[in-house]
């Protein structure tokens, strides 16, 4: 590495006072100017217009701007997606909540429904699991109960509306009743028949 600094070299290069031109030099030069000396007017118009690297700066700025625009658009799209996903999730959650949660009046009504589960011979079946689904208004919530000795089960405090009743008991084919209209005027009562599965003896029959 050199011991002479670039600054010192620059100082050495920097000239002192300009040497005075010899007398008569200007006249000799002017005497040789052609009579028809002329400059292209377009060249004068172009002076100062050209700047090297300007196009590269423009391209660079354009690329930077495009990249920034892409980032902004990307962030916007992503943000919109997040918001919409969140809205969808919220809406979905509300819908699920609405289905899972009983309606405000679920369990507060005054109607009742008695379900009698019996076999093909009309004998009440105790221990049958009865599930009550509310259909109108729709809800995923349900109430469950088991039939007592005479095959009956009673659901109380039901709001009026449509219900679906299903019952199952080991050894019997599950059965479902479609929409059952429950009103406040009087207690509703529906029978539900369970059929014995083929190959199984009727309940209460001893097998050896």
Partner 1 sequence: MTMPAKVEERELLLALARGDRGAAEALVDRTYPRTFALLCRLCGADRDLAADLTQETYRRTWAALPGFDGRSLFSTWLYRIAYNTFLNHVRRPHRLVPLEDEVAVAARDGDPAADDRLVAGEADARVQRAVLALPEELRATVVARFWAEVPVAEIAAADGISAVAVHARLRKALARLATALEEGS
Contact footprint for partner 1 (CB under 8 A): 2-6, 8-10, 12-15, 18-22, 25-26, 28-30, 32-53, 56
Residue 34 or 199: the one with the smaller Cβ distance to partner 1 is: 34
Q: Is 47 helix (H, G, I), strand (E, B) or coil?
A: coil
Residue 63 or 173: the one with the smaller Cβ distance to partner 1 is: 63
As given in the structure block, the two tokens for residue 75 are: 């962030």
Residue 10 or 198: the one with the smaller Cβ distance to partner 1 is: 10
Q: Which secondary-structure segment (H or E) carries 73? A: helix 54-100
Minimum distance of partner 1 from residue 68's CB (angstroms): 23
Phi, psi of 13 (to 5 degrees): -75, -25
Minimum distance of partner 1 from residue 66's CB (angstroms): 22
Count other C-beta atoms under 10 Å from residue 117's C-beta.
28
As given in the structure block, the two tokens for residue 63 are: 């690329």
Minimum distance of partner 1 from residue 61's CB (angstroms): 14
Minimum distance of partner 1 from residue 77's CB (angstroms): 37
Count other C-beta atoms under 10 Å from residue 92's C-beta.
10
The answer to whether the bond into 137 is cis (omega within 30° of 0) is yes
Residue 17 or 198: the one with the smaller Cβ distance to partner 1 is: 17
H-type helices in 113-206, by residue range? none
Residue 30 or 208: the one with the smaller Cβ distance to partner 1 is: 30
Minimum distance of partner 1 from residue 63's CB (angstroms): 17
Q: How far apart are CA 199 and CA 33, in angstroms?
A: 129
Strand 129-136 and strand 142-146: the pairing is antiparallel
């Amino acid at each position: 590495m050199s011991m002479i600094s670039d600054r010192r070299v620059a100082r050495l290069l920097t000239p002192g006072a300009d040497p005075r031109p010899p007398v008569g030099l200007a006249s000799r030069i002017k005497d040789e100017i052609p009579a028809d000396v002329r400059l292209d007017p377009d060249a004068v118009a172009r002076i100062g217009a050209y700047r090297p690297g300007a196009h590269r700066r423009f391209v660079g700025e354009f690329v930077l701007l495009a990249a920034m625009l892409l980032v902004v658009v990307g962030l916007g799209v992503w943000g919109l997606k997040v918001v919409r996903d969140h809205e969808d999730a919220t809406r979905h959650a509300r819908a699920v909540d609405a289905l899972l949660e009983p309606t405000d009046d679920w369990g507060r009504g005054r109607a009742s429904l008695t379900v009698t589960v019996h076999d093909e011979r009309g004998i009440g079946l105790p221990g049958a699991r009865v599930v009550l689904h509310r259909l109108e208004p729709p809800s995923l919530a349900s109430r469950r109960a088991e039939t007592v000795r005479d095959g009956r089960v009673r659901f109380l405090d039901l709001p009026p509306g449509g219900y679906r009743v299903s019952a199952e008991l080991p050894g019997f084919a599950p059965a479902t009743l479609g929409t059952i209209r429950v009103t406040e005027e009087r207690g509703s009562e529906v029978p539900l028949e369970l059929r014995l599965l083929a190959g199984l003896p009727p309940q209460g029959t001893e097998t050896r």
